[in-house]
Structure 1
Amino acid sequence: MSPLTTTILLSSLATGTIITATSYHWLMAWIGLELNTLAIIPIISKRHHPRATEAATKYFLTQAAASALILFSSTINAWHSGTWDITQTTNNMSNILLTTALAMKLGLAPTHFWLPEVLQGTSMMTALIISTWQKLAPMALIVLTNNNLSSTVLMTMGILSAIIGGWGGLNQTQTRKIMAYSSIAHLGWMAIITPLMTNLLILNLIMYLLMTTSTFLTLTFSKSKTLQDIATLWALSPTLMIMTMLALLSLGGLPPLTGFIPKWLVLQELTTQNMTMMATIMALSALLSLFFYLRLTYIMTLTTPPNTTTFKHKWRFNYTNNTNPLSITLTMSILLLPITPLILM
């Protein structure tokens, strides 16, 4: 793909998200979402491979269906209330439809089936865009319509996503599919806190973006597409291997690391609101996710793959790409826990 085409597509991607995030009229929000979807389709399918074409088709059909639902929901609301204002969605049926549509856009369970397949069929950097940037526009709409969304539907989807995200990742050997199920599980934590505290949703989203970006950049740097590839990361760079291990444990939500902040605060808020049973289910579902992160770290750090060469390190060219984003996001996704009091102020 030529630099000009790439620039146009990425600019359209950014513009679509910004239009959706800054609009108060349903039609403008819908236009932003459509622009976003249409810009990423060529990016997904640019590899000219049957898997990439299949991923692009699945992504397009799902997003088009979700956009149609959003338009349908806003039309019903405008019919009943006479306004197209995003913050004035007062009709109950309209709210349930909108919640379902936004969940489909994000990849929340039970409308999550497209996410692992799409991520597996595309390149690592495109998978990073789908897992991070593409979540911003629907999340902006969730924040804007927070008071009117169906809290029962959101919380049910949150619990389902946390459980399915943990369960689905257990038997995966492809790193992109593991990251897809990790994304579903994290979105579940965001969905369950949305009706209670929007600030925590935003904090959760920021932490998720940081940790997911750092993990994807590491996988891109080391060209690790399967668990077998990840097992040889120590031979590429022992330092990167240790940092990646900590980043994965941070994604799992272990205490000394950054990923503990959102889980801790969400569980605290749920218990404060007397939702002890829900908090217990969420904490137990986090164990499922932690299991496959621990499996990754075990394979990466404590096992040596069968090796016929006598060399200690992999033969490789000097890496010429900019590694600053990787260094910054990795460090932040590991060391931010001490600043929790500043975040909460």
Structure 2
Amino acid sequence: MFKFYKILFLNILFFSTLIVISSYSWLSMWMGLEINLLSILPLMANPKNLYPSEAAMKYFITQTLASLILLFSILLSMNMKEFLPQNSSNMLILIINSSLFLKAGAAPFHAWFPEVIEGLNWENCLLMMTWQKIAPMMILIHNLNMFFYLSWIILISSILSGIYGLNQTSLRKILAYSSINHIAWMLSSMLNFKLIWLLYFNIYVILVFNLIMIFKYFNIYYMNQLNLIFNSNKLLNFLFMANFLSLGGLPPFLGFLPKWLTIMNLTSNQFYSLTLILIISTLITLFFYIRLTFSSFLLMKVELIFKSSIIGNFWFFSFNFISLAGLLTYAMIPNFF
């Protein structure tokens, strides 16, 4: 049963992000981020979470540190002439962006993110990997001035997420490092054309929602439990495989579209080295995605007699249809982008 206080704090969580998006001043943005932080903490206090207190404490300390750095840089910018040299705007932008990268979980400020995700249930993981990324990224969109610093954040996020994800057996940590890799792609999509970021984020939300719906239904958290999916139904098995490959950006699935547009945008603006490293890091993430789905389409398996009720779910089929047939739909629209 969905409790009243969860509905209350969930609404506050959504409205706090809208406050950040619609703000005209740094102080109101900071207030929206603080309300966002205080509203998600009660949602983490869930008996179904693995380590609710530890995850909430790690998240609170990290986000409070990022908020303090952001507030400190805002106060410095207001009194720049008194305390700082004349040409110090680049340093303030670097401090502000670093605090926002810490809030979003981009590498090298990422160490808290997989640890917090590991202690949460799938509903909270979905919130952390999707909705909680909107507010800091919307502030970053309006504050992208230091391209050299941003390029290093993109490179470190893409490389570290691929390397750290290779030896993981927890599905929550695999999705967490996958989220860090997608943050690198989203940041690179912001460089010149902001609409690509919006498309990328929406497609990422659809793909993560599809996977988390499957994991939540079967109560799966680790790789050795995946036989529950593989042996339940052939169609569900195929949808699981297709969503993971789509999350990795493999054509002809929908996840390939935003990466394709991002690559076109980067190459047209002569970011060739950055594009090459992003593609190589995505191949590393595709490796551990294929390792998860390897037994689903190459090895023999036993199918259970009874049918799973999730197969008859209309919304489940609708989101998976968007995920699988979305790229074909976009290809049929003339002069798209």
TM-score by length of 1: 0.88
- Aligned amino acid, residue 33 of structure 2: L
Matched, 1:69 2:55: no
C-alpha separation in 2, matches of 1:216 and 1:127: 8
Partner of 1:97: 95
C-alpha separation in 2, matches of 1:314 and 1:159: 48
> Residues 77 and 94 of structure 1 are in contact (CA less than 8 Å); yes or no, is this contact kept in structure 2?
yes
The partner residue of 1:169 within 165, 170, 195 is 165
Partner of 2:190: 194
C-alpha separation in 2, matches of 1:337 and 1:158: 26
Partner of 1:27: 27
Partner of 2:111: 113
Distance 1:131 1:325, change over 3 A: farther
Distance 1:133 1:151, change over 3 A: same
Aligned pairs for 1:177-192 (under 5 A) are 177-192=173-188
Matched, 1:152 2:148: yes
C-alpha separation in 2, matches of 1:325 and 1:33: 32
C-alpha separation in 2, matches of 1:327 and 1:97: 44
Aligned pairs for 1:1-345 (under 5 A) are 3-47=3-47, 51-80=51-80, 91-146=89-144, 149-303=145-299, 312-313=303-304, 323-340=313-330, 342=333, 344-345=336-337
C-alpha separation in 1, matches of 2:58 and 2:175: 18
Distance 1:265 1:67, change over 3 A: same
C-alpha separation in 2, matches of 1:130 and 1:293: 21
- Aligned amino acid, residue 313 of structure 1: L
The offset of 1:195, in angstroms, is 2.5
> Residues 227 and 299 of structure 1 are in contact (CA less than 8 Å); yes or no, is this contact kept in structure 2?
no
RMSD: 2.4
> Residues 218 and 228 of structure 2 are in contact (CA less than 8 Å); yes or no, is this contact kept in structure 1?
no
Unaligned regions of 5+ residues in structure 2, if any? 83-87
> Residues 45 and 53 of structure 2 are in contact (CA less than 8 Å); yes or no, is this contact kept in structure 1?
yes
C-alpha separation in 1, matches of 2:300 and 2:224: 10
> Residues 244 and 330 of structure 1 are in contact (CA less than 8 Å); yes or no, is this contact kept in structure 2?
no
C-alpha separation in 2, matches of 1:160 and 1:6: 36
SS of the residue aligned with 2:110?
A: coil
Tell me which moved more, 37-46 or 288-297. Answer: 37-46
C-alpha separation in 1, matches of 2:255 and 2:243: 9
> Residues 128 and 213 of structure 1 are in contact (CA less than 8 Å); yes or no, is this contact kept in structure 2?
yes
C-alpha separation in 2, matches of 1:45 and 1:295: 33
Tell me which moved more, 95-104 or 327-336. Answer: 327-336
The offset of 1:214, in angstroms, is 1.4
Deviation track 1:133-152 (CA, whole Å, cap 9, x = no partner) reads 11111122122333xx4222
> Residues 126 and 209 of structure 2 are in contact (CA less than 8 Å); yes or no, is this contact kept in structure 1?
yes
C-alpha separation in 2, matches of 1:328 and 1:75: 48
C-alpha separation in 2, matches of 1:33 and 1:75: 16
Paired positions, count = 330
The sequence identity of aligned pairs, in percent, is 32
Distance 1:281 1:225, change over 3 A: same
- Aligned amino acid, residue 334 of structure 1: L
C-alpha separation in 1, matches of 2:324 and 2:267: 26
The offset of 1:184, in angstroms, is 0.4
> Residues 186 and 200 of structure 2 are in contact (CA less than 8 Å); yes or no, is this contact kept in structure 1?
yes
